[in-house]
């Protein structure tokens, strides 16, 4: 491997975030406040089970109370919203995370928007999205914020750069595009209907892959010297980027695993602690 290639180590970024939380958690506990994150899992999706377990373990290592609510795959939108409203009313709960995806019969947007903005630590509500768009969200979507943390940790310039985002989901592609725009980048959002996608990607000084398809982004799509952020995670620990191929032209790249994923979880923990501190002051 070329020694000039910068591997953007997400574990280092995540550890830096979590180290700053240790003392804050201790202070809250001394004041008899235990930061608490509740994760709601609907159905039996194996990948979701894994994500929930990882988040729970991360909470425990930091001293954050992690609770899990597991609802059956037949749960209705009304039933899920009722559970969320009960958690909204519980003063001991500081963060609510509804694991995505939910079963098809559930109106996901209605469920997300039932979460109180003060407990929306995963940044999934419509109000949270709007706040992020204008640059003052308390809890931006975790993966987009993780991406920004990685760029800042490695002092990768954003202002004036052309960023190509592949993906337009309301919890990843769209919010990260807005965060980059708020930092004075020029942003192009690409998606499944984009014609000549490879030509668009080739224009990017920074490329963010968030398309949900394994090894989708090819090496010859990447402009020489570009920074590649792989926000994908597919079965078999495979990202959305063909890592080895893209490494040829990229100046910096995130691996999968140990790239964006660990930072996303660290951001979620930080948001939960932020919410607990905010609740203590109110």
Binding positions for NADP(+) = 167-169
Select which of 9, 99, 131, 270 is catalytic: 99
Please indicate whether residue 242 is annotated as part of the active site.
no
Select which of 9, 122, 230, 240 is catalytic: 122
Residues within the annotated binding site?
167-169
Please indicate whether residue 55 is annotated as part of the active site.
yes
Select which of 9, 18, 55, 230 is catalytic: 55
Please indicate whether residue 152 is annotated as part of the active site.
no
Burial status of residue 25 (CB atoms within 10 A of its CB: 0-12, 13-18, 19 or more): buried
Active site residues: 55, 99, 122
């Amino acid at each position: 491997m070329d020694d000039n290639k910068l591997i953007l180590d997400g574990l280092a970024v995540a550890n830096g975030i979590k180290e700053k939380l240790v003392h804050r958690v201790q202070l809250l506990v001394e004041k008899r406040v235990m930061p608490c994150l509740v994760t709601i899992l609907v159905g039996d999706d194996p990948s979701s089970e894994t994500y929930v377990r990882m988040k729970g373990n991360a909470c425990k290592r930091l001293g954050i109370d992690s609770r899990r609510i597991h609802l059956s795959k037949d749960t209705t939108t009304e039933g899920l919203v009722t559970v969320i409203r009960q958690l909204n009313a519980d003063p001991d709960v500081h963060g609510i995370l509804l694991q995505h995806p939910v079963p098809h019969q559930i109106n996901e947007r209605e469920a997300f928007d039932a979460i109180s903005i003060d407990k929306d630590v995963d940044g999934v509500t419509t109000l949270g999205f709007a706040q992020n768009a204008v640059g003052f969200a308390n809890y931006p979507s975790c993966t987009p914020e993780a991406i920004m943390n990685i760029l800042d940790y490695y002092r990768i310039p954003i202002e004036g750069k052309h960023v190509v985002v592949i993906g337009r989901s309301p919890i990843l592609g769209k919010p990260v595009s807005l965060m980059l725009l708020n930092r004075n980048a020029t942003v192009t959002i690409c998606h499944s209907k984009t014609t000549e996608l490879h030509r668009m990607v080739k224009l990017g000084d920074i490329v963010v892959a968030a398309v949900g398809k394994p090894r989708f982004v090819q090496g010859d799509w990447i402009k020489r010297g570009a920074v590649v952020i792989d926000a994908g995670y597919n079965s078999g620990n495979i990202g959305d980027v063909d890592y080895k191929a893209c490494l040829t032209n990229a100046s910096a790249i995130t691996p999968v695993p140990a790239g964006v994923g660990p930072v996303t979880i660290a951001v979620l923990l930080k948001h939960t602690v932020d919410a607990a501190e905010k609740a203590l002051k109110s």
